Structures are given as C-alpha cells and as structure tokens.
Amino acid sequence: MGHCNSVVSFFFFFISFLITMNHTQADKMVPAMFIFGDSLVDVGNNNHIKSLLKANFPHNGIDFTGHKATGRFTNGKNAADFIVEKLGLPILPPYLSLVSASNKSNSFFGGVNFASGGAGIMNYTKQFFDSLSLDEQIDYYSTVYGDLVEQLGAAGTQKLLSKSLFGIVIGSNDMLGYFGSSSSLRQKMTPQQLLDLMVSTLQGQLKRIFNLGARKFAFIGVGAIGCCPSQRNLNKTGECNEEANYWSHTFNERVKALLQRMKSENNDINYSLFDTYSMLLNFIQNPDAYGFTEVKAACCGLGNLRAEVACLPISKYCSIRSDHVFWDLYHPTEAAYRIFVDNVFDGSQPYAYPINVKQLAAI
Ligand SMILES: *[C@@H]1O[C@H](CO)[C@@H](O)[C@H](O)[C@H]1NC(C)=O
Ligand SMILES: *[C@@H]1O[C@H](CO)[C@@H](O)[C@H](O)[C@H]1NC(C)=O
Ligand SMILES: *[C@@H]1O[C@H](CO)[C@@H](O)[C@H](O)[C@H]1NC(C)=O
Ligand SMILES: *[C@@H]1O[C@H](CO)[C@@H](O)[C@H](O)[C@H]1NC(C)=O
C-alpha cells in the first residue's frame, strides 16, 4: 500500500511538474525582446543622458506602480511595458541603467530597451533635444550582440536572436521636427525628399540589425502626428494638421514597402507592421467605442489644449486619465497605449500587417 501510494504521488508530482514546465514555456512566447525607438517606448534611458527631454518628475508616472515618475513619458505604463507583458516577459530595463557604473553584472538574455525620448531615424532630431538616435541605439545593440557571442557562442546567439522579437518605434520625431512651427528643414527639402531620406536611412538601419541576428521585426508605424495636441495648438481652429497627417500615413506606406522588399531579399525575415495612424484616427473619430471622451486636449500641461506648456511639475492635469487619448502635448495616455498594444498583439489586417505580433512571436 505504502509503495503504491508513493508511486501514485510520484505520478502526480511528475504530472504537475510537466504542467508547470509547459505553463512556464507557454507564458513566455519568445526568449527575449529588444526595443529600439523614441519616447513612445522609452522606459528611462533619457534619465541617464544630459537631455532636456526627460520625464522623471511628476506628474508623469502618476498612475504607475507607487505613483513613481520613471522616465516614461506618460501617466502609467507605455507601449514597451504592455508589449512585453503580453509576451510573458518581465519589464525590460533601460539599457543605460544596466551599463551604469553601479550595475556591471547584468545579462541581456531576456532582451533590453534602447529607446530614447526625442530619438529619430535622422540625426537632426538631436538638434532639438539630445537623445540616443536610432544609429546610436544600434551601436549599443552591437555591443550587446558582442557580449552575447562571448557568452553563448555565435551559434547559440543566433539561435536566441532568431527567436527573439525586435520592436521598432521610430519616425515621429523626424516628422515633428520637419512639420514643427520653427523648422528650417522645410527650406532644405520637400516632404517627399524627407521621406526618401528617412526610408533609405531606415533601410540601412534595419539591415544592420538584421546582420546582428534579428529575424522577427515588429515595426510600430507613426501615428497621425498632425492630431497630437502640440500640432492642433498650432492651428487656430484646433483641427489636425492635415499635411503632417498625410505624410505620416505615407511614411507608414513606405515602411510597408520597405519591409516587403527586405523580406523578398531575405526570406527568413518575418515582420509585423502596425498601422498606428489609422488606430489613432479611430480613437478620434469614434471615441465612445474606445471609452474616450477627450481626444483633442492633453491631460497634463498648460494653456490652450494643455499643449502650450509641457507636462511639468507646475502644470495642471486631468483627474480622470483613462478618458483622454493624450497624456501630454505629444504622448498617449496609458489607456491609449493599452488599446494600441492590444491591437498590435492580437489585431488583424489592415491594422496589423501581414500578421500580428502574437503570430510573429509564435513563428
Ligand atoms: C540596475 O539594473 C536593474 C535591472 O536589472 C535596475 O532595476 C536598476 O535600476 C539598475 N540600477 C541602476 C543604478 O541603474
Ligand atoms: C548620425 O551621426 C553619426 C555620428 O556622427 C553617424 O555615424 C551617422 O551615420 C549619422 N546618421 C545619420 C542618419 O545621419
Ligand atoms: C487648420 O485646420 C484646417 C482643417 O483641417 C485646415 O484646413 C487648415 O489648413 C489648418 N491650418 C493650419 C495653419 O494648419
Ligand atoms: C515567416 O517567413 C517564412 C519564410 O518566408 C514563411 O515561410 C512563413 O510563412 C512566415 N510566417 C508567417 C506566419 O507569415
């Protein structure tokens, strides 16, 4: 009897062990994620550089764990947090926090976040506020790649990275820099020339990431830039800047063609492209469906549309954040990020093209 019992309990132990194993594997859809981009996905890199563009003070983070300002440009979690949550990964640390003097012994096996508020494809976005440009972020990634090769060997690294996701959220600052009120770039080039330059530069940047092991690209397109409070504020009637919107949409179309081209040249690339532009316009045109009541004004700021002064400690902020699309003059609220990422992850065409991130992760 005793013997039988222990066989039975061993059996149950074994089954629950298998279930636990399975569970752990199912929870984590990819081994790692590496994020490149701008303030939409910055989780604190700018805290570590001498940039004027920071968010590590109130009222940012007012709805974050512990009501803490972390460097995220929003009231709570941002797109980077929600996407890794969906994938079953822990929140990715900002790269610069890991390499800071006091933090030497970190591993990059689970991925890391390089994004920096103000970053652009082009370097000119640095003229406005210092940031880590996309090129610099890729430089840092190549160091990480070197570390991985040292620890896992070349084959082990390629195995890890080919399963990992590479999230890229970039282009908004390039557009805002051009269409902004005091831009001198307009005298230098047409919007069409700007897009040509952005897309050809981006092509080189994505190739570099590919050459450093990336195979699964999740590219989040730019939003309807012309509808962010800063742009509406430039229009006497408070309407969207239609020109900036047109070129934002066109940029996304050009990125779509670029990714298709890259895939046709390297068949082992898979990608998901998200149409942030259309989703944002949906929020604005049909706010009820998404639980929003305020789609024009920022929640935190001062002046017209709370878009004349950024979200600073002296600024006012709305009491209900979840019914606003915009947290400050440029950035969505946590509530908006959550809906964006639900669709990035689980959505279908035309928003997530040709597949969503859940499908991309499963490859
Ligand atoms: C060190 O890295 C951890 C994440 O691994 C992070 O939470 C912590 O803030 C970092 N420390 C510093 C001083 O940046
Ligand atoms: C940005 O500047 C760096 C350093 O000067 C340079 O290596 C890089 O090619 C530049 N990138 C672009 C897109 O102009
Ligand atoms: C203001 O918005 C309206 C409606 O979109 C547009 O026709 C007009 O050109 C805009 N004005 C400026 C200065 O952007
Ligand atoms: C990923 O890419 C491979 C190679 O082109 C292709 O066979 C496969 O169908 C792609 N997966 C999905 C889900 O699109």
**pTM of full prediction above 0.95:** no
CATH no., domain 31-278+348-362: 3.40.50
Ligand 1 centre distance from Cα of residue 98 (Å): 6
Catalytic residue of the set 38, 42, 174, 328: 328
pLDDT under 70: residue ranges of the chain:
1-26, 101-106, 181-182
Task: Provide CB contacts within 8 A for 264, sequence distance 6+.
Answer: none
Q: Is 328 a catalytic residue?
A: yes
pLDDT at 4: 47
Query: How close is the Cα of 253 to the center of ligand 1, in Å?
Result: 38
Q: What is the pLDDT of residue 220?
A: 98
* Residue 181: predicted pLDDT: 66
288 in active site:
no
pLDDT at 86: 98
Pocket perturbation via mutation, ligand 3, pick of 239, 243, 284, 304 by most ligand atoms within 8 A of CB: 239
What's the pLDDT at 129? 76
What's the pLDDT at 8?
46
Atom 10 of ligand 2, residue of closest alpha carbon:
123
- Position in ligand 3 atom list of the atom nearest CA 239: 2
What separation in Å is there between the alpha carbon of 94 and the centre of ligand 1? 8
